[in-house]
Amino acid sequence: MSETSQFPGWHGTTIIGVKKGGKVVIAGDGQVSIGQTVIKGTARKVRRISPGGHDVVCGFAGSTADAFTLLERLEAKLEAAPGQLAKASVELAKDWRMDKYLRNLEAMLIVTDGDDLFVITGAGDVLQPENDIAAIGSGGNFALAAARALMDSKHDAEKIARKAIKIAAEICVYTNGNMTVEVIKK
């Protein structure tokens, strides 16, 4: 029996980042599931951190403990390189891929400082998405498709992110409509 098959598996979450009209929004649903059981419907998977006085918004999908470990590491990287989200993200991704302990963390992050929008993965990726939209989690592809369809509309980034999460929640059983939304304007 493999180590991962001993646990029922964490599913769920839809996190989306949308950049439009001088705003960057990260929104996430609130559902936490183990297997086919909803454990919590009001989790907060989008957080604002302010290392060195520079606001950064982070959304995470995957194991909560792993995600918080990564958020702490990102915060430390940002304290070492204030206002340099790209550099801090690359440094985190390098550590994540190379460090024996971090390598086993199961989470993904979407981060923004209002200028840049990145997806950070355990494979060492720091991705700057095309079309100014990033989405992760079990409902991520549904939210991504919805947001891409809405980008040419009159809606601002926040309205697009909210509608995208709502649509994902209607399709993905591991996503609900209880949203946390954080906005950064530049």
Segment 78-119, tens digit of pLDDT: 999 999 999 999 999 998 888 877 878 888 999 999 999 999
Instruction: Give the span between the Cα atoms of 140 and 61, in whole angstroms.
Output: 10
pLDDT of amino acid 11? 55
Average pLDDT over residues 135-153: 97
pLDDT of amino acid 105? 84
Catalytic residue chosen out of the listed positions 13, 112, 175, 180: 13
13 is catalytic: yes
DSSP state string for 53-87: G--EEEEEEE-HHHHHHHHHHHHHHHHHSTT-HHH
Instruction: Give the span between the Cα atoms of 69 and 50, in whole angstroms.
Output: 16
- Return the half-sphere exposure (C-beta side, CA atoms, 13 A cut-off) of residue 20: 20
Structural domains present in the chain = 4-173 (3.60.20.10)
Task: Retrieve residue 100's tokens.
Answer: 């024996």
Percent of the chain's residues with pLDDT above 90: 71
SS3 34: strand
pLDDT of amino acid 1? 38
